[in-house]
């Protein structure tokens, strides 16, 4: 029997797939009961009864004052691995995320990511699972299959007197930040999401997406400081709401940033400096959104640098958390993407890692020099590219790699729409270039798409004891509610 859509429970859309859903999810017999419990809202509560939990020991559980929810969007476990390898090789130190695992009180979990209508989720469905504790369909933002609009977590936090914040390297109206604040039938309605961000009084909003905040909207935000450059952000008064819009669309990749473009770590530091003064605490989402974009593009060098930039933001948060015990920290991803991995053998692997660490520009920069676009976020006719004679030198300038003539020819054919891969999604110019560079950087991708993989979740602080070793993504919503002891949300 198919599960009917309801709050705080997985929703399985039978769709056209000829599968026995009861059998597929294991909902029959003793093993089925265990599986059903695993995906139930009571599973997070049951986690509190483990022998090492305060509830089991009879001790009162400490409440969190703040929640910091960090998302490396589209991070496959291979991405985390690559960033760690490159940082060790290039900088002779470890990344912050794996280092966390050895700290006392830190918990690791594995998280299921499926949406209401797909085993492979998109970012809006995944973020909405956290934001409202409900499985929704891909493309929607806190808008259920039966057209309900549950109250997002930042609204409920605001109703309980807490400050709120969104920090991202994507447009601030993009899927992941939207999942914590907005209700929309489609993630593509970014003008509407921008209006909701403004109307719902988020205290700190930092990222891209300026094109969705027209002058009329900006002029209506009386009392809000609006900035567009890194120096302006640093100098902004701390006693007013802050809206930082540092580009019309997404912020530049970390390798492409200019002096006016703040890093994710810088935006994180500013957000914490402002929110820490909130008398009743805060809820802050921090997203490294361009990790996902680099994975979509099969751009290994940018992928590593974006993950390292996200890890630098983790470092800022950990420094802020020193000598504090009032904050629940969750570090995770919404889904895997493209499943990259270092896949060559022998001494060549070390040379590949060295090349990855020396990447100077993203595929996005390269395609701009060719006067075309990647196409994954803004479909275009790549056959109208320019500067064909500069292709070899531009690739070398961006990646440090000199491609062979046959590889240049394959990429050029892809730009003309003439390169066919047996797995059709891999025929794009970006994927073709990624495959050519895999011969030199050692990193191969399985597709330009999200995957159904379970993902890493790391947590620490009050409330982390509620997170079981294996969870469904919707359970994190209840964890945040219980950790902060929020009163029930009021309808909006």
Inform me whether the pLDDT recorded for 31 exceeds 50: no
| Strand bridging mode 327-332 / 66-72 | parallel
Q: What is the pLDDT of residues 66-82, one digit of tens each?
A: 999 999 999 999 999 99
Contact in structure between 216 and 169 (CB atoms under 8 Å): no
Specify the higher pLDDT residue, 375 or 286: 286
Quote the pLDDT of residue 207: 98
Inform me whether the pLDDT recorded for 307 exceeds 60: yes
In the chain, domain spans = 66-339+455-484, 342-444
Contact in structure between 338 and 449 (CB atoms under 8 Å): yes
Q: What is the pLDDT of residues 228-242, one digit of tens each?
A: 999 999 999 988 999
Closest CA to 156 of 424, 485, 386: 485
Quote the pLDDT of residue 227: 98
66-339+455-484 CATH = 3.40.720.10
Contact in structure between 39 and 472 (CB atoms under 8 Å): yes
Taking the C-alpha atoms of residue 213 and residue 227, their distance in angstroms, rounded to an integer, is 12
Question: What percent of the chain has a predicted confidence (pLDDT) above 70?
Answer: 87
Taking the C-alpha atoms of residue 22 and residue 185, their distance in angstroms, rounded to an integer, is 29
Quote the pLDDT of residue 377: 65
Quote the pLDDT of residue 381: 74
Taking the C-alpha atoms of residue 405 and residue 398, their distance in angstroms, rounded to an integer, is 17
Taking the C-alpha atoms of residue 322 and residue 228, their distance in angstroms, rounded to an integer, is 30
In this prediction, residue 166 has a pLDDT band, given cuts at 50, 70 and 90, of very high
Inform me whether the pLDDT recorded for 17 exceeds 90: no
Quote the pLDDT of residue 380: 67
Q: What is the pLDDT of residues 334-363, one digit of tens each?
A: 999 999 999 999 999 999 999 999 999 999
Q: What is the pLDDT of residues 444-458, one digit of tens each?
A: 999 999 999 999 999
Taking the C-alpha atoms of residue 260 and residue 127, their distance in angstroms, rounded to an integer, is 29
Rounded to the nearest 5 degrees, what angle is found at the Cα of 283, between the Cα atoms of 280 and 288? 155
Q: What is the pLDDT of residues 358-380, one digit of tens each?
A: 999 999 999 999 999 887 666 66
The pLDDT of 260-288, averaged and rounded, is 98
Q: What is the pLDDT of residues 414-434, one digit of tens each?
A: 999 998 899 999 999 999 999
Q: Tell me the whole-structure pTM to 2 decimals.
A: 0.89
**How far is residue 104 CA from its own chain's centroid?**
26
Angle between helices 405-415 and 391-399 (to 10 degrees): 100
Across the chain, mean pLDDT equals: 89
Question: What percent of the chain has a predicted confidence (pLDDT) above 90?
Answer: 84
Rounded to the nearest 5 degrees, what angle is found at the Cα of 10, between the Cα atoms of 150 and 451? 105
The two tokens of residue 94 are 């470890």
**Cβ within 8 Å of residue 79, ≥6 positions away:** 72, 291, 295, 303, 304, 307, 340
Contact in structure between 187 and 84 (CB atoms under 8 Å): no
Contact in structure between 445 and 13 (CB atoms under 8 Å): no
Report the 10 Å Cβ neighbour count for 202. Answer: 25
Inform me whether the pLDDT recorded for 60 exceeds 80: no
Angle between helices 429-441 and 391-399 (to 10 degrees): 60
**Cβ within 8 Å of residue 440, ≥6 positions away:** 352, 355, 401, 403
Lowest mean pLDDT across 5-9, 180-184, 283-287, 357-361:
5-9
Helix (H) or strand (E) holding 204: strand 204-208
The pLDDT of 57-63, averaged and rounded, is 65
Taking the C-alpha atoms of residue 256 and residue 102, their distance in angstroms, rounded to an integer, is 34
Contact in structure between 464 and 105 (CB atoms under 8 Å): yes
**How far is residue 419 CA from its own chain's centroid?**
31
Quote the pLDDT of residue 375: 72
Quote the pLDDT of residue 38: 38
Taking the C-alpha atoms of residue 273 and residue 132, their distance in angstroms, rounded to an integer, is 27
In this prediction, residue 221 has a pLDDT band, given cuts at 50, 70 and 90, of very high
């Amino acid at each position: 029997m198919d599960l009917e859509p309801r709050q705080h429970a997985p929703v399985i859309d039978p769709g056209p797939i000829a599968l026995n859903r009861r059998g597929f999810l294991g909902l029959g017999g003793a093993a089925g009961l265990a599986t059903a419990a695993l995906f139930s809202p009571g599973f997070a509560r049951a986690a509190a009864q483990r022998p090492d939990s305060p509830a089991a020991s009879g001790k009162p559980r400490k409440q969190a004052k703040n929640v910091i929810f960090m998302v490396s969007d589209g991070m496959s476990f291979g991405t985390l691995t690559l960033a760690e390898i490159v940082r060790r090789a290039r900088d002779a130190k470890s990344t912050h995320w794996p280092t966390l695992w050895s700290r006392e009180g830190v918990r690791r979990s594995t998280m299921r990511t499926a949406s209401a209508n797909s085993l492979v989720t998109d970012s809006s469905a995944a973020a909405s699972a956290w934001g409202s504790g409900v499985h929704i369909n891909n493309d929607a933002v806190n808008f259920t299959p039966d057209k309900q609009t549950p109250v997002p977590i930042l609204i409920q936090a605001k109703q309980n007197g807490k400050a709120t914040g969104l920090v991202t390297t994507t447009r601030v109206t993009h899927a992941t930040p939207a999942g914590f604040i907005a209700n929309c039938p489609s993630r593509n309605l970014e003008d509407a999401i921008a209006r909701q961000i403004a109307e719902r009084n988020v205290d700190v909003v930092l990222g891209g997406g300026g094109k969705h905040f027209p002058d009329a909207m900006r002029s209506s935000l009386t009392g809000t400081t609006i900035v567009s450059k890194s120096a302006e952000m640093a100098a902004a008064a701390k006693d007013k709401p802050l809206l930082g819009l540092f580009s019309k669309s997404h912020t530049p990749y970390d390798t492409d940033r200019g002096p006016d473009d703040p890093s994710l770590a810088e935006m994180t530091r500013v957000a914490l400096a402002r929110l820490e003064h909130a008398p009743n605490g805060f809820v802050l989402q921090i997203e490294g959104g361009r990790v996902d974009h680099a994975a979509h593009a099969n751009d290994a060098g940018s992928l590593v640098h974006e993950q390292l930039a996200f890890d630098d933001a983790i470092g800022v948060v950990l420094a802020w958390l020193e000598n504090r015990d009032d904050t629940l920290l969750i570090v995770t991803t919404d889904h895997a993407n493209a499943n990259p991995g270092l896949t060559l053998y022998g001494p060549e692997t070390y040379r590949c890692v060295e090349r990855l660490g020396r990447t100077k520009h993203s595929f996005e920069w390269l395609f701009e020099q060719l006067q075309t676009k990647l196409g994954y976020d803004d479909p275009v006719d790549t056959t109208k590219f320019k500067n064909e004679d500069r292709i070899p030198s531009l690739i070398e300038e961006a990646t440090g790699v000199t491609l062979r003539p046959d590889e240049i020819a394959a990429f050029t054919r892809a730009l003309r729409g003439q390169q066919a891969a047996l797995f059709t999604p891999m025929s794009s110019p970006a994927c073709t270039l990624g495959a050519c560079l895999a011969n030199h950087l050692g990193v191969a991708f399985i597709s330009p798409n999200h995957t159904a993989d379970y993902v890493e979740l790391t947590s620490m602080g009050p409330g982390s004891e509620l997170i079981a070793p294996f969870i469904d993504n919707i359970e994190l919503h209840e964890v945040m509610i219980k950790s902060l002891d929020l009163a029930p949300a009021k309808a909006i």
